[in-house]
Structure 1
Amino acid sequence: MDVVLGNLPTIFALIATGIFAGLLAGLLGVGGGIVIVPVLFFLFQSFDVSAQSAMLIATATSLATIVPTSLSSINSHYNKGNVDLSLLKSWGLYILIGVIIGSLLVTEYGGQWLSSLFGVIASLSALNMLFRVRQSTVADSLPGKFGQRVIASLIGFFSAMVGIGGGTFSVPILTAYRYPAHKAVGTAAGIGLIISLPAAITMLTFGVTPSDAPFGTYGLVNLLGFVCIVPLTVIFAPMGAKLASIMDANLLKRVFAVVLLITGLRMLAQLFI
């Protein structure tokens, strides 16, 4: 009981993170990782965790939370016929290879550079939201087997390193090759599971818990954060979707993009300040 009472501020903050991530996921259709990672990164630092440790734990914890949410998302999209199982089978092994390499790099050499990498990705995602007029295409169909294997490996590699489910990369890449948008989103849920499950297990098993890690951290995964965030994202995502139907979603997306851009730039600035 004393342990719980002593960590009530952390617990309440993690609960708020789950609510916030769930609402934004439903409201704007953004992946949870792109929200959870920066929130946890700054949250853990407010509890006297170093920036290096905070980024490692935020990344691993985000990946762990993506596992159950991606399972739920896969089921929903599969029932609508929007999950391309043949693409998942073709890409799965190469995504997994990228994930394992990326996860091991994080556990062995993770540091301040991770926040810089996330900052770059977050900033580019924000700029894409703000200024993209229409979806540009690079070809009328996906490249050959070798090109697809390279794409799949890179999606797994970078997603695992920054704690996101892959939709941030896979959806724009697939649609750039004139892949149907609804199938790109549904298939991205399957890609998210292929990324998050092995990455979370790797970081939980091989990650060394930092000495200044917050309460409830095992390996690099904060299990307290996992328990607080997952059920709340599931509960509040549908509420966010309902709000989207009565609010100006485009305006909200632009506001979120500005906030995400500021967050990304702030994470980059920590490298130099």
Structure 2
Amino acid sequence: MPPIADLFLFALALVAAGVVSGLLAGIFGIGGGAILVPVFYQVFGYLDVPEAVRMHLSIGTSIAIIVPTSVRSFTAHRKRSAVDTDLLKSWIIALPLGAILASVIAAFISSVGLRLVFVGIALLVALRMLFNRDSWRIGNELPKGIGNQIAGVVIGTLSGLMGIGGGVLNNTYMTSFGRPIHQAVATSSGVGVLISIPGIFGYIWAGWGEPGLPLGSTGFINWIAVALIVPIALVVTPWGVQLAHSMSKRQLELGFGVFLILVSLRFLYSIYG
């Protein structure tokens, strides 16, 4: 067992991650998974969780935390009438289907495979954030019909494989078709709800009976980490919502983009270093 002092430091790291993830949930409409997954990966590694299940456990636990933070963020944004409820209603099947598909993939993919998926998506998102221009658009109207449903499934699947609430991907999707960033952020909080709830059940199923999981785990979800972080994130999320409606996001986008690149390099080092 690690020394008590070291465990205390890691508990502080989890608390700090809870604060940051809560702020991000409000500011970007995301569940903070891009912060939590790499933190969990380090903590679970230090606690000697086997490499074969460590990334899976990090992603599943992050998904579980996204449920309350996304609900909290969605409620706050909806009070401001900023949510595109029609888009959410159109994805009522597509997003959960993508989340379930992600858990099925996670049940069969290796730890290295999951880390590479995280790195690939994180780098694309980071580049988008670092070099984003308001003038970058694919079109002026969101796709309809089958195109809209495919987008929902893809966002749900990729988000589920990364342990994120879909906010980063949905923000990119909506703004690429001319939607205002504040509407995208607000709607993304609802996307997180539709992805994370089925994602919990999927990652419990995917990890059921796996050897080497730490105390307090059900499948690929560790409830001790959830219990530590959720109360903090719930308190902090409304602060992020206030920031989202009162400030420019450019500096935050730059900071988040740099963070994603550093996390990606860390995961690449864990694979090839």
Q: TM-score by structure 2 length?
A: 0.86
Deviation digits for residues 183-238 of structure 1, max 9, x if unmatched? 22111111111100001122124423543323321111010011001111122345
| Structural RMSD (CA) | 2.9
Shift, 1:112, TM fit: 1.7
Structure 2: gaps spanning 5 or more residues: none
Task: Show the counterpart of 2:86.
Answer: 86
Match of 1:19 in 2: 19
2:32–2:164 CA contact under 8 A, matched in 1: yes
Cα gap change, 1:224/1:46 in structure 2, threshold over 3 Å: closer, same or farther? same
More deviation, 179-188/144-153? 179-188
Q: Residue 256 of structure 1: CA displacement?
A: 3.8
In the alignment of these two chains, the number of paired residues is 270
Contact 1:135 1:175 in 2 (8 A): no
What is the CA distance between 1:245 and its match in structure 2?
11
User: Is 1:148 aligned to 2:148, yes or no?
Assistant: yes
Task: Tell me the SS of whatever aligns to 1:92.
Answer: coil
Give the Cα separation in 1 of the matches to 2:194 and 2:37.
19
Change (3 A) 1:136 1:249: closer
Match for residue 75 of structure 1?
75
Does structure 2 retain, via aligned residues, the 8 Å contact 1:70–1:192?
Answer: yes
Q: SS of 2:18's equivalent?
A: helix
CA drift of 1:174 comes to 1.0
- Contact 1:28 1:253 survives alignment (8 Å): no
Write the distance in 1 (CA, Å) between the matches of 2:181 and 2:250: 18
1:247 CA drift (Å): 10
In structure 2, the residue matched to 1:261 is 261
The answer for the alignment partner of 1:62 in structure 2 is: 62
Could you tell me whether the CA contact under 8 Å between 1:74 and 1:186 is conserved in 2?
Answer: yes
Match of 1:167 in 2: 167
Following superposition, the deviation at residue 95 of structure 1 comes to 1.5
Give runs of aligned pairs for residues 109-148 of structure 1, distance below 5 A: 109-148=109-148
Determine the C-alpha separation between the residues in 1 that align with 2:16 and 2:199.
Answer: 25
CA distance in 2, matches of 1:172, 1:165: 13
Counterparts in 2 of 1:261 and 1:116: CA distance versus 1, 3 Å? same
Cα gap change, 1:110/1:64 in structure 2, threshold over 3 Å: closer, same or farther?
farther
- Shift in Å at residue 29 of structure 1? 6.8
Give the deviation of 1:25 after TM superposition.
Answer: 4.9
- SS of alignment partner, residue 265 of structure 1: helix
**Amino acid of the residue matched to residue 54 of structure 1?**
R
Query: In 2, Cα distance between the equivalents of 1:70 and 1:24?
Result: 10
Displacement after TM superposition at 1:178 (Å) = 1.2
State the AA in 2 paired with 1:66: I
Counterpart position of 2:53: 53
- Counterpart in the other structure of 2:220: 220
1:7–1:215 contact (8 Å) kept in structure 2: no
Q: Aligned residues: percent identity?
A: 34
Note closer, same or farther for the CA distance 1:232–1:161 as it changes in structure 2 (3 Å cut): same
